[in-house]
Each structure stands twice: as C-alpha cells, then as structure tokens.
Structure 1
Amino acid sequence: MKVYRIMQAATGAILWIGAALDAPTALDAMASAAGYRDGAGLPTHLRAGGLHVEEVEARP
C-alpha cells in the first residue's frame, strides 16, 4: 500500500493522511473515517475548491 495525503485545494488544509491502494481508494477511506459512505458522499462544502490527493513518500 501507498501513503496518501488529501488536502482541500482552496485552503491547503490537510484533511487526511493514510494508507490506500490508490488515490480513489484513499478518498473513500478518508470519507469513511469521517463517517460518510464513500468519497461520493462527502458534502459539497468539503469539495468546494477541489480536493487534492497526492502520494506521500513513506519515511523509513
């Protein structure tokens, strides 16, 4: 698994950092941790300005 960071693009706020198989799965994992069914269930105010999902290099 890879480590991903999800940020709100408009504000730069980090919303989640965690392990996932790929970027879409990371978005679903973030949403699930916040109590939503999946990434599609996130409220529009969180999606406002876009969400930025990036792979983060794991430190040894």
Structure 2
Amino acid sequence: MARRPTLQDVAREAGLSIATVNRVVAAAPGVREDTARRVAEAAQEFTMLDTLVNQDTRRLT
C-alpha cells in the first residue's frame, strides 16, 4: 500500500511552503483563495494517484 502524502509532499507539489500548506489545512484566517485552491489541487493529485495504485494492486491479487 502506498504511504499517505505528508504536508511536505503536498507543499512540494503545490510549490508552497510547508507552513502555508499547514495554514490552509488548519483553515487559518488570511489564506488567499487561490492558495487554498493550489493546496487542494495538489492534495487531489495524491488522492488520484493513491486510488490508481490501489486499483492496480487489487487487480494483481
């Protein structure tokens, strides 16, 4: 099973700092909408990748 993405993974994918991703996840005030969208899109990429890996793994068993 693939490991869960970390804040660092999402930050790298979104091109943002870990602190910024953490602020988005914590729903801190003052986070710009476009920044939150970048984090959500990066996290979605990991979710889709994880789903594909799990589907492939199930097919092999």
TM-score when scaled to structure 2? 0.27
* Structure (1/2) with the larger strand percentage: 1
* Structure (1/2) with the larger helix percentage: 2
- Which structure has the larger Rg over C-alpha atoms? 2
